[in-house]
Structure 1
Amino acid sequence: MAGAFKGFGEKAIPFLKALDFHQSREWFQENRDLYESELHGPFCYLVETLSERFATAGLGLRGDRKKSLFRINRDVRFSKDKRPYNRHLSAILSPDGTKMEQGVFYVHIGLERCFAGVAWWQPDPELLQAMRKAIVTKPAAFRAMVTALKKGGLALDPEDCLKRAPRGFEEVGEADLAQAVRNRHFVVRHDIDPATIHTAALVDDLVDFTSRARPLLDWGRAIQGTAK
């Protein structure tokens, strides 16, 4: 595979630590070559390698170095925190290769943690309503998806769920369904051992995770076409 991912440079995380300390455009420009060789360049190859592997696995997710990566520059226009640079680099692979789609793969390499996720993140109101309705009206399909995730060592993340049932779902009585309809997102996550980011084995790890998360992708895709 031409240009296959071979691992992030050994100085990738130290670069992020130094950038976080300096938080200056001058320092970043002086060290841009290090950023490109240790972090950004390998991340581009990671996205392209994953895109090929996801296609081979029939996961319906793709990306490229131009559309998939988020900028390391922070958007500070509406933030009190005016630090110009992120403490991480991240990317999304999606059904159409853009960041605007739903049912996506996300990978994050940063100072606090390295992780990946498969998510229906902040779905629009119509899709979120359709998902909640499907949970209640087709509980067997929802529970089958949850069981399949569990067999793969995964579980839906309850973070950021509503404290109360959303309007129209107040009478849902079964505990697992009542919990599920409170979700704002439908997400599974996978922690990446920072020691593994420097080898090509990271690709196998991420493909394995995404394959185990496929039940969530398939469940959402079956609902997506019904959202109105």
Structure 2
Amino acid sequence: MIQQSTFNFLKSVAENNNREWFKDHKQEHDAAREDVLQFAKDLIRGVSTFDSTVPEDLDPKTCVMRIYRDVRFSLDKLPYKTNFGIGISALGKNFPGPGYYLHIQPGASFIAGGSWYPEANELKAIRQEIDYNTADWHHIIDQKDLIKSFGELGTEHKLKTSPKGYPKDHPEMEYLKLKSFIFTKPLTDKEILKPSSPKDIAELVAKIFPFMVFLRKAIS
């Protein structure tokens, strides 16, 4: 589980997002990061039991994202994130294609899985797979247990018009318009802090796994 002290640190960063404060509290950051690394290790082990592409011994350091923000091209010049992110795939956080992501932030944590803005060739392949294998697509995304836990597939990132090569009246047009294919579930602070949280979150991720298989098959 994530320790309360890690949440306390993230709350303090949000209130004191400057380099001077961070320098004086670097030890707190290091302790919080170690806590997240241990959590990631437990979560990776859980995910590896059903997703063979994720090695059980995957180094959590390849999965946990740095707290330092890249402000070079951002109007927001605050130097630190107010969250810890864990990206899980065969290659850790820097994954091409589908992957899992856990966002740890007081009052704003969530678990997600899928393809976030896939590159043009992958996006084309996913749309083609939805078109060719519509029955399989709906068999996966319409599962009652999946919808009960995650709700509907996210639809906020999509084209305004039909993608090239598909008729406007295509029965799956709302899915073909998507630019990202993501299931997301908010997590309460209590869910993150409870002792069984790595196991519980791995069980949630398992519900996304068939969706991940569909996406991987599409781009393979």
The TM-score, its normalising length taken from structure 2, stands at 0.90
Which of residues 9, 13, 21 is equivalent to 1:19? 13
**Amino acid in the other structure paired with 1:166:** P
1:189 matched to 2:189? The reply is: no
- Cα distance in 1 for partners of 2:87, 2:93 equals 8
Matched with 2:155 is 158
1:169 matched to 2:166? The reply is: yes
Q: Following TM superposition, by how much is the alpha carbon of 1:43 offset from its aligned partner in structure 2, in angstroms? A: 0.7
Cα distance change, pair 71–98 in 1 and its aligned pair in 2 (3 A): closer
1:121 matched to 2:116? The reply is: yes
Q: Following TM superposition, by how much is the alpha carbon of 1:56 offset from its aligned partner in structure 2, in angstroms? A: 2.0
Q: Following TM superposition, by how much is the alpha carbon of 1:163 offset from its aligned partner in structure 2, in angstroms? A: 1.6
Q: For structure 1, list consecutive stretches of 5 or more residues without a partner in the other structure.
A: 1-6
- Cα distance in 2 for partners of 1:147, 1:71 equals 35
The TM-score, its normalising length taken from structure 1, stands at 0.87
Contact residue 107 and residue 188 of structure 2 kept, 8 A: no
Contact residue 13 and residue 80 of structure 2 kept, 8 A: yes
1:45 matched to 2:42? The reply is: no
Matched with 2:75 is 80
Q: Following TM superposition, by how much is the alpha carbon of 1:223 offset from its aligned partner in structure 2, in angstroms? A: 1.1
Matched residues, percent identical? 22
Computed over aligned residues only, the root mean square deviation of the Cα atoms, in angstroms, reads: 1.7
- Cα distance in 1 for partners of 2:126, 2:63 equals 26
1:112-165 superposed Cα distances (whole Å, 9 cap, x missing partner): 5001101111211111101111111221111112123x3322331112111211
Matched with 1:3 is none
Matched with 2:3 is 9
- Cα distance in 2 for partners of 1:123, 1:15 equals 33
- The number of aligned residues is 215
